[in-house]
């Protein structure tokens, strides 16, 4: 009688994890680009008349903030996504996406301290859009069956 063993192809697992990471970073960057384009422009640091920075300087400012937020918000979000994806057992795709969307709201709490709600709302939308539409579910491919052609041990 042939024995059946199951395994996951490591290359396919790495590709799915890479796709998950790349899609999160892309949607995060697009969210911060939207924040930079629509967010309030910062004040000039040496101005005594409360002048705002130019649009180009404002974009550079938000680019720097976005990189920092990728570390503060994005890294924990990716860890949550990957751990949840690796631990997922028999939960349906829609339920799993809803659970991860809720969990991805946890790292956004530092944005509650920001003076404008626009930044918070856009980042929450980024987290939810990733969890609901872009996150690969299941993260790991299903195991493949391999039939062993050796005769059974005597």
Q: What is the pLDDT of residues 135-147, one digit of tens each?
A: 888 777 666 666 6
Amino acid 12: pLDDT = 81
Structurally, the chain folds into a number of domains equal to 1
Amino acid 107: pLDDT = 94
What is the arithmetic mean of pLDDT over 50-56?
A: 77
| Helices 55-69, 10-38: crossing angle, 10 deg rounding | 140
Q: 34 or 139: which carries more pLDDT confidence?
A: 34
What is the rounded average pLDDT for all residues in the chain? 83
Amino acid 149: pLDDT = 60
* 10 part of a folded domain: no
Q: Is the per-residue pLDDT at 17 higher than 60? A: yes
Helices (H) and strands (E) in the chain, counts: 5, 2
Amino acid 6: pLDDT = 60
The pTM of the full predicted model, rounded to 2 decimals, is 0.79
* 154 part of a folded domain: no
* 47 part of a folded domain: no
Sequence-ordered list of residues with C-beta below 8 angstroms from that of 27, at least 6 positions apart, any chain: 126, 129, 130, 134
Percent of the chain's residues with pLDDT above 90 = 38
* 26 part of a folded domain: yes
What is the arithmetic mean of pLDDT over 34-56?
A: 76
Q: Is the per-residue pLDDT at 76 higher than 90? A: yes
Instruction: Identify the domain containing residue 27 by its residue range.
Output: 22-38+53-142
Say how far apart CA 63 and CA 138 lie, in whole Å. 32
Q: 71 or 56: which carries more pLDDT confidence?
A: 71
* 119 part of a folded domain: yes
- What three-state secondary structure class fits 88? coil
Q: Is the per-residue pLDDT at 51 higher than 80? A: no
Q: Which of 7-11, 38-42, 98-102 has the lowest mean pLDDT?
A: 7-11
* 15 part of a folded domain: no
What is the arithmetic mean of pLDDT over 105-127?
A: 89
């Amino acid at each position: 009688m042939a024995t059946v063993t199951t395994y996951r192809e490591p290359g396919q697992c790495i590709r799915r994890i890479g796709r998950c990471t790349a899609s999160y970073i892309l949607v995060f960057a697009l969210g911060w680009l939207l924040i930079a384009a629509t967010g309030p422009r910062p004040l000039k640091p040496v101005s005594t008349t409360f002048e705002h920075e130019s649009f180009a300087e404002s974009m550079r400012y938000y680019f720097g903030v976005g990189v920092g937020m990728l570390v503060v918000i994005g890294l924990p979000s990716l860890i949550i996504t990957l751990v949840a994806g690796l631990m997922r057992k028999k939960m349906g795709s829609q339920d799993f996406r809803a659970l991860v969307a809720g969990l991805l709201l946890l790292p956004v709490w530092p944005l509650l301290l920001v003076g404008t709600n626009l930044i918070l709302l856009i980042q929450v939308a980024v987290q939810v859009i990733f969890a609901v539409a872009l996150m690969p579910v299941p993260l790991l491919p299903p195991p493949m069956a391999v039939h062993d052609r050796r005769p059974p041990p005597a």
